[in-house]
Structure 1
């Protein structure tokens, strides 16, 4: 499950791997892809071109595979009723079903600033806050924005070991066109179209996205710092919200923000 580094204080204790472990692919293999719990990413740079991790959403929590996306500002998932979303890697269990979660709340129009902070609708359809996203390579998704519980696993020791559950917004699309990667969950790290928010005051000059990111939900609900770290090899990687890898020198490359 996706990890975060919790507040308050203390050095983060996330997962990390030696250079040779990332290079030789010693992480466990499941269906040809390297999967494991705790923020470990599965993917391939030179073939499929993306990396994914597991995340638990809803009540009761259900596990989904989620692609990490640093280039867009909307976390989105195919809904159970989508007829154009193709076959998900996890089958029907990989689709989000409103009936399967007792805590999901659809975002309705008109928006309420207190109940829907940071949310923007492209349009309102039957009182539902709807969105339409078009990607540079030609793919697109359309759907509605909802809010539900998102569950994060803590680090591996100390204060970071405590899990966190926050309420967060995301999109559930009922129509998808284009490349197969859109058939899976898509997690955005950014709140903004084109850049990350300023870690100093939370604001930026670029256009804001449709919903706050899950990292922002952790920060606003005082569960994490406004930072993340991302480490990638050719076929695997690590991802941590709210902190950085304490021994990042032991891995190949590390993106740390801020």
Structure 2
């Protein structure tokens, strides 16, 4: 596939190679293409893209580089929205000879690719029809045996997964052909293992997207099956590097495999920082400040305050450890006191209400204005990289007109999760081979599904609850929701421990008494022995 203008792909060198793709006579392609690639290799990606466009305009041609080496990429549209879906999703074409469309949440915090199949006894209604395994000639059930990584159920290798938000899924493994993106037939199909749901509950049952596509790195454990991401990377004929990027707009965005598209990026370019792709995508924040407009104010000084940090597109909001969360709110209150942030006022118990609904204390009334008066949150990462978090990302209008609520929350676990609210309006580049994370402020393309305009999504008052599909989040709301179940569980465990302890103590006392009785001589015998011992010896 020949990608659009500005695509870059990480190669062997630090900067990799860029290609500006278009159409021009074949006789001119080799010369101008060679000049373009040389320019790109000598400059940062943003400058390289500009140089290529200048060259193309001057020669009245667009440069065509044949898809080879590091220039091979695939891409797919993303759909979704923070408020109305609480996630972003893409489309897959699965099976043959007539591929079936399947919508899946894109989740960098898990590895499972799975969705409901027809005749599922407990699966909810979703955007697309349940996948019909019998209609695909290339589908193969995974049998039981040594290669089965799950349990054996009715002769099929089966799986089950439970997520931190409380949802769970069950099903059986099968393999089939999968193509990324429903509307782009130029993407190549790969054979991969995926799950066929036979059971869904909670948010997986009620969500609109059919299933989930985990893009987290594979576990470094012998015998684990390759993930969909690995299978796509192994198709070196069509994907040229172990890189993928997610560019998230307010509605939808773009997913790119094998590289990233610099044409979306703003002039500031890409900021790179070290990343550890092991089970999750770990990043290393070291400090946090409030920036423009206004003076720089320190929020977090030491990297130890963030705990472990991951980037997770399966989590709607961004979750911060208690000390970071409280400090950030305190500094925002100080900065925005007396209407300093464009006249914004922090909501109180009943100050932000409409139609019987009230916003909580982590919301602001902006009186019809946008959040432009709020300061940028600047996070400094390992290597000295500074990445800005703009107010139109960390604040969202959630249902009540003129009321904007924070999209960062307190994590009762000492860990930081940079979720969708941190990723939106950025092109986030996961360079797995180079073990680095790239972030660029971007004008990401917007895409809509028909579901955006009809049914439950169309209703203005419907705001979907934030989700967290990994195991690193424990927000106060989640704790409250699970508190009664946990209290009952721990009470039962406590009663069992008390009963066992009391029973053990009683048995020990009985055993001790029995032991003493068995070794204690009869009183009469003992008296006679004492008399004999005290009597004078007979000569």
Alignment TM-score, normalising by the size of structure 2 = 0.35
Instruction: Provide the rounded CA distance (Å) in 2 between the counterparts of 1:237 and 1:209.
Output: 35
Q: Does 1:55 align with 2:55?
A: no
Does the Cα contact within 8 Å between 2:91 and 2:104 map onto a contact in 1? yes
Q: Secondary structure at the match of 2:262?
A: coil
Aligned length: 204
Larger relative contact order, structure 1 or 2 (CA cutoff 8 Å, min sep 6): 1
Question: Cα deviations across residues 29-72 of structure 1 (Å, max 9, x unaligned)?
Answer: xxxxxxxxx61211111332101111111002122222111111
Question: Cα deviations across residues 148-170 of structure 1 (Å, max 9, x unaligned)?
Answer: 001246xx9xxxx9531211111
Does the Cα contact within 8 Å between 2:246 and 2:256 map onto a contact in 1? yes
Q: CA deviation at 1:178?
A: 1.1
Q: 1:172 is matched with which residue?
A: 196
Q: 1:243 is matched with which residue?
A: 259
Q: Secondary structure at the match of 1:39?
A: strand
Does the Cα contact within 8 Å between 1:86 and 1:183 map onto a contact in 2? no
Q: Does 1:215 align with 2:229?
A: yes
Q: 1:35 is matched with which residue?
A: none
Over aligned residues, Cα RMSD in angstroms?
Answer: 3.0
Q: CA deviation at 1:13?
A: 7.0
Q: Which has the higher helix share?
A: 2
Equivalent in 410, 429, 437 of residue 256 of structure 1: 429
Equivalent in 110, 113, 118 of residue 80 of structure 1: 118
Equivalent in 250, 275, 282 of residue 234 of structure 1: 250
How does 1:97-246 map onto structure 2 within 5 Å?
97-112=132-147, 121-152=149-180, 162-179=186-203, 180-181=206-207, 184-192=210-218, 211-223=225-237, 224-246=240-262
Does the Cα contact within 8 Å between 2:91 and 2:180 map onto a contact in 1? no
Does the Cα contact within 8 Å between 1:11 and 1:246 map onto a contact in 2? no
Q: 2:278 is matched with which residue?
A: none
Which runs of 5 or more structure 1 residues have no equivalent in the other structure?
1-5, 15-37, 113-119, 194-205
Instruction: Provide the rounded CA distance (Å) in 2 between the counterparts of 1:45 and 1:209.
Output: 37
Instruction: Provide the rounded CA distance (Å) in 2 between the counterparts of 1:49 and 1:139.
Output: 15
